[in-house]
Each structure stands twice: as C-alpha cells, then as structure tokens.
Structure 1
Amino acid sequence: MLPIDRLVRSALVTLGACVVLAVACYEVPEVRDYYTCKEDAECGDGGFVCDDGVCCREQEDPICLGRVRDGGTCLDGGRPLTFYEDLDEDGFGNLTRPLYRCAPPLSVPTATNGEDCNDNPTVGGRLFFPGAPEQCDGFDNSCEGVIDEGLDGGLYYLDEDNDGFGDPARTGTFCQRPIGWADNRNDCSPNNGAVYPGALEVCNTLDDDCNGATDDTAQVGLACTVPNKLGVCAQGARACVSGKDVCSQVNNPAPLDTCNSKDDDCDGTTDEKPDCGGPIRFAADPSVVFGARHLGSALQGVTGECLKDSSLPNASPADTVTNNDVWTGSGSTSHVFWVERDGGTWDLSRPLTTLKLFVDVASDAGTGTNTDGGLNRWSQHRQPVVLLCGPGGFLRLVPASPILDSATTEQIRKNIPLPPLTDGGGEWIVGSNSSPDVQGVLRQVKRIELLVQPYGASGSFSADFHADFGLP
C-alpha cells in the first residue's frame, strides 16, 4: 500500500497531464459557409446577424457586404444605395418597398428604380411597367395613367344597378366591355335594378318595363265586378290608380231603364216599369201629363209630324181634359189628345208590348154617308189615328179599317201590338210618313197622341178613357 503523500502527488501529476491534453485537443471551429436565416435570432451567438437572408458579421468573416453599418455607411466608407423590390422581375421596382443596401440584395429581386405600377406577379405584374404594350384588359399596362390607350374601343354605358341595361347619361369608351358596364343605353331608371326593358310591369306608379307607359299591367282593362254596386254599375275594368290595383266602374246609372234585360239605373231591378214598357195605367202614374188641342185644319188622318207642338193654330172653342180621363171638344177639324211622360221617355221596344186603347167615344155631330152607304158622325178616314212621338222621330199607327164609322157610341177595346205589323196583316199598321227606324222610335217614346176628326161643324164629341188605358 502506497503512502498517502505518494497518492496525492500521483493524482496531481495525472490532473495536470489531462489539462495540458485538453488544451492541446480543443480548436475554434473555422467559419466556412453562410447560414440562411430570416431573422437575427436564427444566427446564434458570436456576433452573427441576419442580413440579406444569411448569417454574417459586420467586422469578421463572414462579412455582411451589403449591410449598412451604424452611422449609415458601408464597409468601404461609402454611402448605401436604394434598391426597390422587383418581384415580377420586369426591371421596374415597387416604389413602396425600398431597400437601403451597400450591395445589390441577393435574397429578393430588385431594381434600381421604383417606376412599376404593378409589381405583383400573381396578377400579371409582368404586363405592367413603363413602356409596356397596352393590353385590352381595362388596366393601365404602360403605367401612364390611361387605361387601354391607343386601342380601338367601343362606347359603353355605366350599369350601376346591374340589370344589364346602361345609363344613357354615363358613357365610357373601352376596347372591351368592362364589368359594371353595358353595351346599350336602354335603362330608364339607372338606379333601380328592377326597372329595365322587358321587366314585368306591376302596379306601382313606375314604368317597370321602360316602354314609356306607367302601370300598363297585363291586367289593366280586364273585366271585374265593382264591390257594392248593382246592375250595370257593377261592371268594371281593372285599373291602376295611385299604385293600387282597383276595379274601376265603367258605367254610371242611367236616368231610366231600357228594355234590354239590364238594370240600367242600378237600383237592383231589371227592365222595371214605367221606364221599360211604360205605365200599366196612365191615369195612375204621377209622372204622366194629359192634354188636348183643337187643330184649325182637317187633316183627314194623314200627318207628317206629331201634333201637340205643331205650328197648326188652335181652333176655338178649345178642347178640354177633365179628371185626366174625359176628353171633350167640338168642330169638324182635327182634334188631338196626348198623354206623355213628364221629363222622360218610355222604352216600348220589348217584344209583346201592347198599348191598351180602352175608351168610349161618342159624338152628336151631324151625320154623313160612309163608304158602305151607312150614316156616321165622323169623317171618311180611318180613325182614331195613334201617333207615337219621341226624340228619334214618330210612328203613325192606323187601324186597318175604320173604328169610328157609325153614329152610335163606339166602345173601343183595342190592344195595339208594338211594333205593329208592317205587312198589312194586322188590325193596325204603320202608316205613311212614319220614321223608318221603327225600333229607334219605340225605344224612346215621350208621348202618345190620339187623332180624331168629327163630321159635323157644330157637333161635339167626348172620349171617356177607362182605367186600364195604358201599357201592360
């Protein structure tokens, strides 16, 4: 066993040998290559910084050749240069991306000018630079501030509402139609995308289809029923009024009903009397007016007009009408009695309408010889003559054979058909001088006149009308 001091000395010698050996074995590594980086933290210790995408040092190898030193100078004492990113590598840089360097950057393409107007290679940046040929793309390829200059272009119209039709007041010339422009100027409402030629017209106070007419919808004019109206007043047509679709009334109530199977006066009743068909009894109708004249002429039953308002003079003594049903007169010239509607007319055109001429006629005039050798108190013509008078003319109705043809009281009970037969086959015929439009006269009869002519100059007559004298 070795003594203690010997062991200590042996240990110290061994430790010293190891230290010498360690110093002799360690060597500082040589810097041979650049190390890529994106920021200083990736370059570690030893004075390395990240410059132009590599790790380098400002004072030692590897030296940062392009880095601007503190104080704004370069390694050789010169001033740095300004470079501009040129990502699309068209030789023109991006003015907004300057790089201050002592040497051209190697990690990014650059140019020594900032004249590019589009440096983005993903959107065709290589087509944009000063002096570049213009493309028909709606952009300023040559960076001169003018779009598509020098190219043949067409006229387009701004289409702000995107309905495919342009604003005629806002034009532009382009070599091809750009987005938001139209090749027509047909929009009549450039700020309303629902209004354009061919659009559906609706009731909204607008000209939706640009045809120059407002609210001319397909439904305008179609038949409809007016609410809460009767008869012809319920007939309507669809219309657009103040932007609302309404059923507009097309008929106003007529003052009178006519015989047409319609409720003309809109009171809920069709073809009502007395407008249609006349009053059943003249004497019972408050709108009926009676009267009579003694005419100063012997007409022999032939007239060319109605007689109430004729220019013939009134003879004396005058005829009278009492109690609306007894007509009296005297003298051998013609006499006329009338019954008329005060302020209106009757429509007597409905088939099977008849005039009930119910009257007892008597005279004490002298007697003359009639055509068959007998004696009578009346002139030698077919009497009584009935005249239908109206604004459209008159009809002269004559019995096929005389009724007043004896010296006795004649009880006349005649149902005169209206219109009477015109071929001579009935008891009453339409006489000469009548208006040719028979139905036109019958539709507006204002007055019915009865014409008689006694025989004797001094004799008198009376006509007593029965209560059924009227138009059933």
Structure 2
Amino acid sequence: MKKILPPILVLLLCHIQSSAAVSQVNASYQSGQVFITWNNISNTNAYYKVYRSNTAINYGSQLSGCEYLGLTNSKSAIDNNLTQHDNIDRYLHITSSAPALTSGTGLFVATTLVNGSYYYAVTTLIDGTEDTTIIQGSNSTVSAIDEWVMKPQPVLQETRTISGKPVEIYTLFVSSKFDVTRSPWLKAGFLPFDFAVYRNNAVANAPLKIFLHPGGGSFLDDITTTTADEINLYPEDYYPDELVDPAWWGSNENFDVYNDANNATPPTSGINYNYTQLRLSAIIDWAIRTLPVDSNRIYLRSNSQGSPGAYLYTITYPERIAAAQFANGIFNLTYDNDWQTNCTFNTGKKNRKKVDQRMGDLASNLQTFIELNTNQVFNGAWMIHNNQQRDLPVIYSINGKNDLLMGWTEKTIYYDSVDQNHCGGYYFWDNRDHGGNTGVTWGDGNFNLFRYKRNASYPAFAHCTLNEDFGNGNGTSGADHGTVNGALDWSDSITDEEAEWMVKLFVRNLVDNSNHIIVYADSATADITPRRLQNFHPAPGTVISYTVTHLQQAVQSGTFTYNGGIIVIPGVKIYRDTSALSLSVMPLNTYFRDEDGDGRGNPNLYIQAVTMMPGYVTNNLDCNDSDAYINPTATEICNGIDDNCNGSVDEGVTSVFYADDDHDGFGNSMITTTGCTAPPGYVSNSTDCNDANAMVNPASSEVCNALDDDCDAAIDEGIGSVFYYDSDRDGYGNINVTTMACSAPSGYVSNSTDCNDLNASVYPSAAELCNSVDDNCNGVIDDGVISAAVSPYGTVSVCKKVRVTLTANVTGTAISYQWKKNGNNISGATSTTYLTGENDAATFSVVVTASGGCTSASAGVIITRLANPTVSMSATGNLDICGIGNVTLKASANTTCTYQWIKDAYAIAGATTAKYKATQTGSYSVVGTNSSGCSTTAGPEIVISTCRESVDESDSMNDFVIAPNPNNGDFMVQFNAPVKAGELISVFDITGRKYNTIKTDDAASSIPVHLGNLQPGIYFLEWRTNDQTYTKKFVVNGN
C-alpha cells in the first residue's frame, strides 16, 4: 500500500539524516560592506541564502525574525566578467592584498545599511527546499561584526598589461538590499561587476571618458585607445548566466540573473530597478574621489547595445555628465512599430522579447524605482518634454534609417521633441544599416566630445532653418542624410554673469565620413535657449532685453518679462561670419504708490519696474497715503495727526494739562502733557497737594488723620478721634474704656477688638490653640487648629476597574485618620491614604484628629465612573489560514474607539484600525479605547495553519484509531493489527515541531499516549512500520 509523506515530514527527516549546512563561515567588514565566505556543500546546484541579525543566530527558528539579504549560487566566488572575457575561471579578490578566493568557496557581500553590530547565517536551498539547520560557528557567525554605513569601495582585482599599457581592473560588489524595510531588488542578494581603468599617465584634472560597450563586446575592448589626455573607465554589465545580455539599465525584481531559462515569461508585477544606473553613479563618485579627474569633465560614450543605457543614464542623471556621444542607439525602448517590419524592437521580435522578459511587456507598464512607470522612463521624448527645465549635457548622436536592430521611426518623433522642448544637441542620420556596411554619410569628425564642460553654459538650438527633412518616420521619406542643429556652432568664450549672458554664434560647414566638405548656406535662423547657466539666473518678473548683432550692427532686439522656466529667444539670425546674441537684465527702478494723489508716495507700497506706471511716484515721503491733506508741505493743526509728516504730532499748537492720578478733578503740577484737549487722566488745573489720594484736594473737608485733607497747609485743624484702652498691651483695645483725641494717647489704640484685655495672648490675630479658649477673638473656640483636605479634590471621573488613591493633606499635626464613604466610617481605613475599589462610585472624605482632641473633616471627593466600551472581535473567513495564507480579524464597539491589535501578548506595530489581516498563526486580541480613554480587550481568536492536512489520510483511516479525538493530550492509539517491537510513533504540531517519539517494546494492539502538557491546537501522530508511514490528525482542546 503506497503512503505519501507530508512535505514538512520529509524535510524534518532530511534534517535528521543529513544536514546540508555550509561550513567554516567567516565574515569581515571593510568600507561599508561585510564580506562573508564559507565552504560550499557538494551539490553544485545548491543556492545559498544569507541572513543578518543584531543578535546571535543559534537556531533555524530565529531566521524568520532575521533580515533576509538574498541568495547566491554555488559559483559566487567567481569573477564572472573576467571569466567570460578570458574564457577561464577567474576568482574574486575581496581585498586587493589578499589572494583570490578558490573553487568551492562561497561568497556573499552585504552592504551595511544601519550602524551596529551584526551576526550572519548562511542556509542552503536545494530544488526550492531550504535547509534551515543552524550550526553556530559552521554556518552562522559566533561573534558580532561591528559595521558603519559608508560608501562601498571597489576592490582592485589585478593590473593587466594591454597593448603594452597598464590597465587596472576593479570589482564593485553591488548589494540588492538597499533598505532594511524592503526586500532585495533581485533574488540575487549581490552581484560583482568589474570595470577597467586606464589612467593614460594623467596627473590632475584630466577628463574622464566612460564607455558602455556594445553587445558581444567587453569592458577591456579598446581600453587603452585615447584621443587626448582622457582617462578611460569602461564598466562591464554581464551577469552570472552569460546568456543574459547586457542592458545597461537594470531589470525587474523577478528577473533571474542565474538562469536565463527562467525568464521566458515577462514579469507582470514587481518593480523595475535601475541598479545599473545606480552602480554607474557609484563608480563615477569613486572616480571623482580616487582618480585625478576633473569632475566637470566626465563624458559618456557608447555604441549599439550600449547606447540605449548610456542615453537613458544621460537624461536621468544629466547633472553627472558634461557631454555624451552615442552611435546606433535608440531613444524610446517602448516603441514597437518601426517602419521596417523586421526591426528587432517591433512586437514579437528578438529585442522586444528581451526587453519584455527583463522589464515586463508594454501592457504591464510596471513601476520603476525612480517613481515613474517603465513606458515613461524608457521614452526619451516623454522624459525631455516632462522635464523641459532640466538641462541636458551636449548630446551627439548618429543613427541610420535602415538600422534593423535599433529602428528608425522613433528617432523622428524624438528629433521633433528635441526641437519643441529646446534641448539642443547634435543629431545626425544617414541611410546606414546597424553595422555601417552601407549608406554611411557621416563620421565623427563634426564633434569633439571633450570640448564641453559641466560648469559651462551653452546655447541650445531649436528649429534651425538649415536642418534637413528627417521625414515622417518611414525610411523612404525625407532626406537620405542630414542633421538636427549640425550646421550651427558657437564660440566657447561665453559671457555668463549675473546680469548678462552673451554668446557668439555661427554657421559651419560639415565633413562627411571621407572628410569631404558639405557646404551650408551662409545664414540661418534658430531659436536659442541658454542651457546650464552658471550665473545668469534672472528672477521671475525680471525684464530682459536681447540684442543680436552682426558686423557691429544690431539686427534684432527686444524685451520681455521673464516669468520663470527656460528662456527662449525665437528666430535668432545666425551668420557664417558670426553673430552675437546678448541677454541683459534691465535695471529696475523703485516706484511708490500715491493712492491719495498728493504727489507723495507710500514707503510701504512699491514696485520695481523699468518705467513708472500711473499712480506711482519716485519719492516715498507720504506718512498717510489715504489723505491728500497729509504730506510734508501741509500746515500742522491741532488734531492729533502729524499733518506735515515731520514725525511730530500737533507741535506748537497745543495746551498744557496736568495729571490727575487719583481722579479727584485736581491736577499734579509736577506731571504735565500737552495736547489739543485734555487726554484721559489729565485736567487743566494744578492745585492738588496729594495726587495719590482722591480724598485730599482743595474741595475736601479736614478729618483727623494727620493729613492736610483740604490742601490749606494745616493738618487736622478743629477735629479729633476715639481711642480704646489696651490694658494687656497686645495692640488691641477694650471697647468699654475709651478716650477722644486726634492721635492715640499712651496705652490707647484705635481699635476695640480685644475680647480679653487682661490676657496678652488673646487678641484677633493670635494663633488658635487647642485649649478651649477663643484665642483669636473670632467667637469660635479652638477653630483652625487642624484642617484636612483630600487630593485629588472635587469630582473625579475615572474608568471602571480603575482604583483611585486618595491622599489626606493636613494643615497642623494629625495623630489619627478616619476615612469615610458616603459619610460612613470605612473599617480599617486609618492611614494617610486610601485606595478605592475598582468600581467604587461614591463621596469620600477624611476626619483627622490633632493632639488635644481637636478634629477636622475634609470636603468630600466625588468619584464617578466612566463607561468602558463594549468591544467584540470576529473573524471574516477561516481562522485556519492554511489555504489562503491570511484571515481578516474585525473589531467592533458600541461607541467610537481607537484600536490596538495584540498578537501573543505583544502589540502589533502599526495595527491600529478596526481591521487586521493576520498572516501568521498565534493568539490575537484587540484593545478598544473610547474617547474617554477607557479600554476593553476583546478576544482572543486563535489563528492556526493546518497545512499538514494536505496529507492523504485516506489510506490510514483503517490502520489505527486515536481515541478520544479531540482529547486533552492523553489518549489511546488502537491498531487494526498488532504493532511490532521497535516501531516508532511520533507526535508533531502543525509547524512540524516534534513533541514526542515512542518506541514500542513488544507487540501490542493499543498503546497509551500521555502528553498532558500540550497546548490546545491541531497535532499529527505518525506511525512508522517497515518502509511505510501512516499519519493521522488529532485535536487537543485542553479540557
């Protein structure tokens, strides 16, 4: 009887019998990257997966929580580029001083993304099955590697003599993991790419030429060929599978660089990553830091299959390149309808299929890493139209109308876009085929790549009247050879200053491939757009004047207001003997608004313009532009206004007024002000003798107060007051013993508030003591000796199931406390604090007692309870996620709530909505919190995965029975026929973890199993007899 083993049991058995783990793993850090090596296993078809963690990786179960960095193949130590070039295995150096790696060695290079100390582990992947066995020190690092984020540095592999000249060969190790929160951009976790450098004896500030070779070429082809003092840097773009052609851009994340046979079907999802462009930028950065190059003289050159990548890099990162030269390329990789039916980029043809296999087909139009869709990024005309203000380097390109490989029709669309968007550059065409075997008119004699600089402006030509007709896209239409802008040129001595830009323009003749002169007319017109401006940056709103001069005569001129964007001077006349175009920022004058028409301007409202507009004047002397009677020539009148704009108000036309601070109608002669009328708080007289006392003034009656109340220079004349005897000399008088005087006689005071004039300790301001005496004469005995209050105080609203701590705050010294609830003593509540019950809603107070028996009762604290929300939790779908891999959990409440989802007692980061999609097994619950801050927890729901149920149990149904099922972990296994001695019975959970194995001692028809410690869930019992295995599911419910 045939039995089918579950896949997870097969994997477990394989682990038990023979672990396919690598050995001698080692890791070292250098220049922002960690280099991990190991001894490969014997299976040459194996792949190796690499993980990173900030804690030691000791068990396979930890891998799911580690950062996955990608995989590599069994030939990871091989230098693919040199191997393919030399046709012999070449191995990589991971440092320039160390020997090359050897056969059987595995290599992975991980770029450091966050500073820290990390551990690494390497697992094997064979036929799609990963062996997650971890053997510390063998396939996982024992010690952490200290790492810092920095720019990775290429590693020198060798210096090779080519054509008698030294050529340095470097490898840049490119990691696919660029963000700790995102997956690698390829399943290949890293790729080594070589590039070659020929220094050409350069010492300093040399130009750098980067060449992207054509298909079938190599990065070492013509590496030592130079035309001047340039340094040559030639990168490579071949992949581990040599059948994968270079594309010089990148690929979809699903593209297989190890086996091109897996790329037959174009991807329909995923992101297209421009990792080749990013690699090229990194190499340029390295060259600027390391080589004696001028960063403003970096040039890009290409031919054939290298030209699409070179062009796309140029328009994507134009600020990196001084000038670019392309031959036999393409400007729109998405164009599939060339006039030549057999064009390789037409639908169904070879190169169209290759692009589709790498990037997805045109209909998929997948997103790219640079946040545009593929059909946009690969369409040069679209890119320059939608980035019109972005200055391109000077581009020179030659193409053929009969180029079956790269096509022709899309060039005419692109040429038109170049004109419409004023990009400039030089574009040549003739009747050549791709190999230049027929129809060649043009060579490269009309262009000097190294003439241009990144930090120098240049004129971009458009709509030149000398351009030949490139036709309608059909190769039989238009001129058989011609150029866009080729007949025009300029002098390098360009004036580029803050207020002026000037260039000398001229018509030139051209030379063909045989150096025959092609003559053009002596004059032309073209639109001129200054590009790559260095200093001439007029602000929007600036008025610019332009002049075209020829033979020292102005032949064109005009002015316009610059409103931002590119500057276009249309139809400029250009002559063979030179014309000069000059742009100047016209000086602006400042004019001030004269709203009231009095000839004086508002200093706060002004414009800058070349000429004065109506309603404006040249001066800013008006201090009130809404009143024509207020200006510097007006006469000052007493009105509270600066009529003559001299900064003073009502000068020379005001009266003197005196401060009346006590508002008694009489002024202080020492404090004055001037004005047209008396300001608030001032009067016209100065007769007050005490302006701080409203009762003292010439109109007041004299009172006995030691003051001159009526300001007649006499004090208390003709009046007196009553005084009271102070027998105990405590400062408080006896109401029953009095005398009359203006001032208190000896032994008398002015008050009569003493309640015991025989005791100096008893008076109104005395401290009350606990002595049965009214010490402070307030009519109350022993009051205020001690007082009590409770914090918190007032009304306190809290959620249910929350206990509140009440604290007695006492003024005085308390010796005992008694807490009360709703006025009734609380038994045993006699400390300084009291902790309420979880749901107490009542009035609480405390009575404190001082030494001597004085007591004080606090005000009541009212505890009210806020309602907790009613929260429920449900699952939309099956809690067993074996089938679809997830289940949606939903929370609901009887009121508006915020939510936090919990898995296995831990909050799930970011899971704060009413729904959560669970993709892992575990115990899930949700906490709902209402607007009052009160929370209720709902759940849990247990998410499981019973994928083991895919095992075919049909053949096992009558072989043995588990009873009872479900059970609590204790059950009987009853066999249809007696088992033999030495047979194995094992228990696994749904993850494949083994819990127990029973080996039978002798024959039996039933065996008891006791597993009382199992958690509730689904388990599997496996019976192995002879060469057969039987499996049956059972459920533990915990009861």
- How does the TM-score come out when normalised to structure 1? 0.31
Higher normalized contact order (CA 8 Å, seq sep 6+, divided by chain length): 1
Which structure has the highest strand share of the two? Answer: 2
TM superposition score normalised by structure 2 = 0.16
